Structure 1
């Protein structure tokens, strides 16, 4: 019983010291972001507030991943449909010449020898199916300082959205979804 009385007696002092150590925040002060503490699916739901000037793939097809859209022949980015392959670097969008996976060569990705800052990662959208990346192409990409993630184009556009929304320097080289080996 004496222990309980001492604990109850020290509680007000404990609360006072905690209030001094952690003062109240003003109503206008923003709380720190907790995005990295959420699961991947929670992050996708947080993309609703992506700034207007950031590229994002948007859903318009029957097989939709939220904020990602593709057709067998192209992609929809910020409400505009683009036919063919795309190369995205940060918030820069370009047409890209390869029409099938075998046409992706170090030469087709040579822009990364000139580009600064170098993206952290290149997300390679292989079309409908994940394709093995040959050792010469893999060595070239790694020599630029980028990491490589080769996935189907549906997942590549979604991964690009998430990484770009997080503010990371990311690039995507995307073949249309209808492309298969």
Structure 2
């Protein structure tokens, strides 16, 4: 069986009491693109907007979808944000931040061109 190499880019190594251990650094909250990780100071989920996700939306090509890690519990992304990303042809998948971190790793291992916004645990 031929194995495909893992996708390049940031790897969420584990969750800690302080946040997400990604490529040797701990981030309380993070924006993930296929090629980098950025520490992030997000607004409350209900106020999340396109501007807050600007580094993710600047990807070329645009991501297939954005994983929204909503914090310690599942919550829906704001309808205005979903509509704005949909207008750009970008899907939104919201889940709790732990699940989003796991999904990031699985989907990137498949080589998917995605982005993620992980809110604090």
Normalization by structure 1: what TM-score?
A: 0.59
Cα distance, 1:165–1:96 mapped onto 2, change above 3 Å: same
Matches within 5 A, 1:99-110: 99-110=43-54
**Higher helix fraction (1 or 2):** 1
Gaps of 5+ in 1: 1-30, 36-48, 60-68
Tell me: higher relative CO, structure 1 or 2? Use CA pairs within 8 A at least 6 residues apart: 2
Matches within 5 A, 1:57-68: 57-59=12-14
Q: Distance in 2 between matches of 1:78 and 1:143?
A: 33
Partner SS, residue 116 of structure 1 = coil
What is the root-mean-square deviation in Å for CA atoms of aligned residues?
2.2
Task: Give the greater-gyration-radius structure (CA).
Answer: 1
1:32 Cα offset (Å): 4.1
Matches within 5 A, 1:2-151: 31-32=1-2, 50=6, 53-59=8-14, 69-71=15-17, 73-82=18-27, 84-151=28-95
Cα distance, 1:127–1:137 mapped onto 2, change above 3 Å: same
Which 10-residue stretch deviates more, 85-94 or 155-164? Answer: 85-94
Q: Distance in 1 between matches of 2:16 and 2:47?
A: 20
Normalization by structure 2: what TM-score?
A: 0.85
Q: Distance in 1 between matches of 2:56 and 2:119?
A: 18
Partner SS, residue 58 of structure 1 = strand
Question: Which residue, out of 153, 157, 168, partners 2:101?
Answer: 157
Is the contact made by 2:6 and 2:110 (CA closer than 8 Å) also made in structure 1? no
Cα distance, 1:50–1:78 mapped onto 2, change above 3 Å: farther
Gaps of 5+ in 2: none
How many residues matched? 121
